[in-house]
């Protein structure tokens, strides 16, 4: 085999190990008995250490130095991704990789109980270990790539993304969104309360059937995935085995339903990646900004539209035995009701970016050492008060609500807001390309939209940068303008 062939085989094996880790993670977060947490953390850390050893072996650098793509676009893009991944890996010692993996697994298990018990102090020492190891890793990568530690973390979730790129976008949001939010709230106040939709209780079994039916409706391949329950909704699993989760409340079906749609957007991206490059770096999703754009496009742009409410209301009524009123207009008003709240994953699309800006500011401060972890609850509550005018009643609905920091996912949060902006920009272009898309959604037809997303985003894998993929699909770089126009049109002008 030549050098490229050696690399192709190596990264295929690494991908197989990642799939094994993905299934172990899914099992941990859904059905693993609590007593198995310690051993599971060791196993997953060992897997991570083994991958790191394989990736940083001396011969890999030699192969990367001599490999040729022979003028093939996809092979060259794959080789570029291999070099990027290798550069990040060799910057971090193997024992640090293993320690961070184990610390994240342990902290995640403690977080589950701490969140339920509203007990930040019990999580603090475990989270401190994760933060310390994350800083050490970010510093090592930053020095190797000549970027800041926080940019090194961002780059791990969205290659090439930097604070310099994020800052002007978030500044635009911080300037233009608050007055829009106030106008939205005033307009809603003038229209009165939203009548209830359906009648509780909403049995979990019925909610699950509804969720699975909608997953199929929008294009999810149930032969290559499944729906389960976890404390925090997620999309995970393995290649050709995409596992999504949600959580249920019997007195309200919408949070679980919208969670299913959100995670299905992620899953559709995974199921649409270029099959011929399966198991190779170029065949992966580009990064979390685009990944979040796919979930938020399905949840926010599509599902919360008036057209979708018209389609879905009778189906929902049938799912829950027709109890209560299922007026499509009431359902639409309910799904688009803007109300500043404490929980990020339940936030409406107007207030959602505020949740992300708070987390972004705080995690930058913690990574840079300007905020001590013990002061996180107070700082979190203060910024939520500033941004949303809310007094956080407890840490369970404050800094304990998200799984990201315990798992070591520092640098992930900005991708949520950037994903929301990308979703609006992509959907605006999809509507131009597919003029009948509103009527198609109202009829429950999603194949043309999914086909457009397959071509514009999914099938491109990691063959180009995030900005290049967005620019090619929409004709312009990522910005806040389409998102702000969308908020104006739906919530102030009145979506038709």
Residues 334 and 316: their CA atoms lie apart, in Å, by 14
Secondary element (H or E) of residue 157: helix 149-157
**Under 8 Å between Cβ of 437 and 445:** no
Residues 116 and 446: their CA atoms lie apart, in Å, by 38
Residues 47 and 104: their CA atoms lie apart, in Å, by 14
**For the chain, first and last CA: distance in Å?**
59
Residues 91 and 156: their CA atoms lie apart, in Å, by 13
Neighbours of 211 (CB within 10 A): 24
Chain Cα centroid distance, residue 126: 24
Half-sphere exposure of 433 toward its Cβ, with a 13 Å CA cutoff? 17
Secondary element (H or E) of residue 163: helix 163-191
Strands (E), 187-300: 225-229, 235-238, 241-246
The catalytic residue among 81, 106, 208, 263 is 263
Q: What is the DSSP string of 384-410?
A: HHHHH------GGGTTTS-SHHHHT-T
Residues 469 and 306: their CA atoms lie apart, in Å, by 29
Residue 83 has which token pair?
Answer: 């070099």
Taking CA atoms, 184 is separated from 195, 219, 343, in Å, by 19, 33, 20
**Residue written as token pair 């409406």:** 348
**Under 8 Å between Cβ of 407 and 107:** yes
Longest dimension (CA), the chain: 71
Residues 259 and 252: their CA atoms lie apart, in Å, by 12
Annotated catalytic residue 186: no
Residues with catalytic function: 263
């Amino acid at each position: 085999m030549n050098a490229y062939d050696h690399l192709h085989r190596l990264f295929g094996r690494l991908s197989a190990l990642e799939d094994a880790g993905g299934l172990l993670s899914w099992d941990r977060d859904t059905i693993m008995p609590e007593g198995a947490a310690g051993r599971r953390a060791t196993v997953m850390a060992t897997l991570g250490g083994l991958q790191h050893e394989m990736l940083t072996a001396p011969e890999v650098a030699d192969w990367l130095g001599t490999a040729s793509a022979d003028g093939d676009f996809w092979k060259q893009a794959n080789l570029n991704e291999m070099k990027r991944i290798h550069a990040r890996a060799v910057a971090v010692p193997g024992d640090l990789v293993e320690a961070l993996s184990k610390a994240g697994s342990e902290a995640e298990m403690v977080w589950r109980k701490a969140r339920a018990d509203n007990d930040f102090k019990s999580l603090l020492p475990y989270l401190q270990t994760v933060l310390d190891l994350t800083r050490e890793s970010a510093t090592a990568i930053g020095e190797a790539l000549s970027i800041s530690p926080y940019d090194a973390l961002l780059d791990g979730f969205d290659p090439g993304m930097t604070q310099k790129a994020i800052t002007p976008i978030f500044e635009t949001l911080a300037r233009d969104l608050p007055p829009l939010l106030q106008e939205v709230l005033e307009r809603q106040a003038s229209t009165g309360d939203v009548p209830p939709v359906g009648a509780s209780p909403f049995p979990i079994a019925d909610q699950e059937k509804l969720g699975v039916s909608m997953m199929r409706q929008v294009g999810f391949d149930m032969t290559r995935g499944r729906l389960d329950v976890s404390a925090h909704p997620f999309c995970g699993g393995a290649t050709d085995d995409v596992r999504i989760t949600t959580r249920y409340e019997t007195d309200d079906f919408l949070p679980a339903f919208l969670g299913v749609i959100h995670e299905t957007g992620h899953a559709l991206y995974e199921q649409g990646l270029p099959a011929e490059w399966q198991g190779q770096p170029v065949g992966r999703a580009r990064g979390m900004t685009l990944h979040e754009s796919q979930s938020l496009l399905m949840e926010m742009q599509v599902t919360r539209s008036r057209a979708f409410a018209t389609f879905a209301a009778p189906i929902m009524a049938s799912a829950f035995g027709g109890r209560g009123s299922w007026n499509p207009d009431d359902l639409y008003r309910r799904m688009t009701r803007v109300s500043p709240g404490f929980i990020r994953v339940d936030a409406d699309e107007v207030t959602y970016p505020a949740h992300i800006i708070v987390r972004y500011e705080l995690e930058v401060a913690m990574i840079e050492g300007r905020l001590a972890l013990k002061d996180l609850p107070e700082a979190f509550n203060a910024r939520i008060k500033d941004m949303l005018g809310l007094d956080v009643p407890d840490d369970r609905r404050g800094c304990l609500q998200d799984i990201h920091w315990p798992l070591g996912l520092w640098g992930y949060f900005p991708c949520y807001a950037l994903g929301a902006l990308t979703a609006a920009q992509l959907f605006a272009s999809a509507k131009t390309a597919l003029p009948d898309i509103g009527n198609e959604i109202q009829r429950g037809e999603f194949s043309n939209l999914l086909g457009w997303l397959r071509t514009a985003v999914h099938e491109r894998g990691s063959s180009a940068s995030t900005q290049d993929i967005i620019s090619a699909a929409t004709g312009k770089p990522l910005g806040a303008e389409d998102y702000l126009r969308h908020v104006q049109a739906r919530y102030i002008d009145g979506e038709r």
